[in-house]
A and B are shown apart, each in its own frame.
Chain A
Amino acid sequence: MAKVVLDFEKPIYSLQAKIDEMRSYHIEGNLDLSTEIDRLEKKVNELRKSIYSNLTRWQRVQLARHPERPYTLDYIYLMFSNFTELHGDRNFGDDKAIVGGFAQMGKQTVMVVGHQKGRDTKSNLMRNFGMPNPEGYRKALRLFKLAEKFNKPVITFIDTPGAFPGLEAEERGQGEAIARNLFEMAKLKVPVICAVIGEGASGGALGIGVGDRLIMMENTWYSVISPESCSSILWHSWDYKEQAAEALKLSAQDLLDQGLIDKIVEEPLGGAHHDPEEAAKNLKKAISDELKSLKKLSQEELVSARIEKYSKMGVYDYL
């Protein structure tokens, strides 16, 4: 059970608390409440289903940001063995908002790279809340190239509120670092699978997000801007985040409908944090299925199909 309860989850948790209370009376007070407990158990399960299957887009955004959600390193340890983290961009430093290294998925060696958030103040400062600086993107690129050299597939995990909008980030070329990754990822000669596991905010997400397959976990979002920033720019107020989330159509289902992603990975009821093992198992299955189909392609076919995939993205009309 999650420690952090979101507003829309409160009815579930208060009913659950009532059941727990009854159960203690049932045991301690020699009162037979089993019929009533059964009835409420059924009710709470129905409530859970109805709340979690009718989430608004803004509620999905909140789930995607849930502080107990599994992050990149959690998925790495749940899905792979032998993870060997590799640090640094060989130029400026080691950005801890992006982690990566070789790991094994069964017998297959893969290069895994992802945004990394922290869980408390200290680790969030170290991870910069999952907001990379240019050296983070350059580290990622170094690792992609390493994967290409040894002919190993690349798997990326996307989970960022955005690339860091800081003074030094600009000095060191945040724009150039992201742009370079888009260019280089488009022509990597190995399979690339990208999975959104939490937040996919704008260029900061895309900077490690160009691949042959794009997967989204069920309760994640991916768009050009966060609902809050969109509200502030288009409505000139921070108060329209719910409307902005609706307008941006940023959920996994939306993006599948828009033809921009390939697959949605189901999460345990209530979100990945309710059962990280289950979430990781589903994600691993999706990734290995996609890898299997991609391995049938030659390097040339792989790259030209990837460029073709992106070339088709966009809708327009004629006067």
Chain B
Amino acid sequence: MAWFKRKEANISATEAEKKDTPDGLWSKCEKCGTMLYRRQLVENSHICYKCGYHFRVGSEVYFSILFDNGNYEEFDAGMISKDMLSFVDTKKYSDRIRATIKKTGLNDACRYATGTLNGQPVVIACMDFSFIGGSMGSVMGEKIARGIDKARELKSPFIMISKSGGARMMEATFSLMQMAKTSAKLTQLSEAGLPYFSVLTDPTTGGVTASFAMLGDFNIAEPGALIGFAGPRVIRQTIGKDLPPGFQTSEFVQDHGFLDFIVPRNEMKEKIGNLMSMLK
């Protein structure tokens, strides 16, 4: 099988563009409404420096935050979905894929890469919510499986950054089976005695929560993220009343015993790096 390699620049084109336009100089915090100076926001790992709100960011930003000097080598960047079922809802799945690739500049909702974190080799896989809600199809499953194989080959830790609405319906049972596939591959990582850091960011729900995202040796979340199995809308319909405040937030999930700790994005590298060095 062909391994596609590609070196990536540190900052994505869209982000660089934004900086040059007058509109791009300021961003409004989605939570507190403060106008934030964009350069400062980027320096603060896209966290509102007024209220601590974590803006949703993609793989490019996480890679630049976690890999030393933002240097990494990405694998299988050219892997794309195949519409095995000729799935059609209001649109053809194949058209949806093509349009999303064009719109986002990404080829799927997951990327994985190798590099170093505080000088230690590491494999990081990260999702992009902008690609069909970070949904998990065959490509994501295969990339995670190969990321795990890469970690076994390098004898390095595996870091998974989740941000997903769950399984990709347009791949039907194939997408469901990615839950089993990724979990089965994690048994091999575990067997090799390699650490698995699962980072849950806003939002992590559905089949992603019910598989690899909850299986970390360390389950770590960003503050205020939505984390759950069933979506809040479905639960509201089931119980027929409003959900209590704070339900399914990172803090709620930690209180119920399913997260090791919550850490702001700008302290994540230090915290994970520290654990990695203790485990060496």
Contact = CB atoms under 8 A, between A and B. Distances in A.
B219 to A, nearest CB: 8
B276 interface: no
Contact of A173 (B4, B171, B178, B257): B257
Interface residues of A, number: 56
Nearest to B211: A179
A250 to B, nearest CB: 7
A247 B88 contact: yes
A165 interface: yes
Given A317-B82, A319-B80, A174 B184 contact: no
Contacts, number: 197
A303 B180 CA distance: 14
A29 B270 CA distance: 93
Contacts of A149: none
B77 to A, nearest CB: 8
Interface string B138-176: 110110010000000000000000000001110111111
A159 to B, nearest CB: 16
A166 B247 CA distance: 12
A77 interface: no
Contacts of A243: 89
Interface stretch (A67-75, A105-113, A227-235): A227-235
Interface in B226-248: 228-230, 234-235, 238-239, 243, 247-248
A163 B229 CA distance: 9
Contact of B174 (A178, A311, A314): A314
A144 interface: no
Contact of A166 (B80, B141, B176, B239): B239
Contacts of A307: 184-185, 187-188
B177 A314 contact: yes
B29 interface: no
Contacts of A186: 180, 183-184, 187
B239 A179 contact: no
Given A165-B230, A234-B90, A234-B169, A313 B178 contact: yes
A244 B85 CA distance: 12
A22 interface: no
B61 interface: no
B114 interface: no
A8 interface: no
Contacts of A182: 179-180, 183-184, 210-211
Of residues B78, B174, B209, B256, which shows the largest number of chain A Cβ atoms within 10 Å of its Cβ? B174
A285 to B, nearest CB: 25
A186 B148 CA distance: 16
A314 B178 contact: yes
Given A171-B256, A182-B179, A316-B142, 8 more contacts: A179-B210, A179-B212, A202-B207, A203-B179, A203-B210, A224-B175, A307-B184, A310-B181
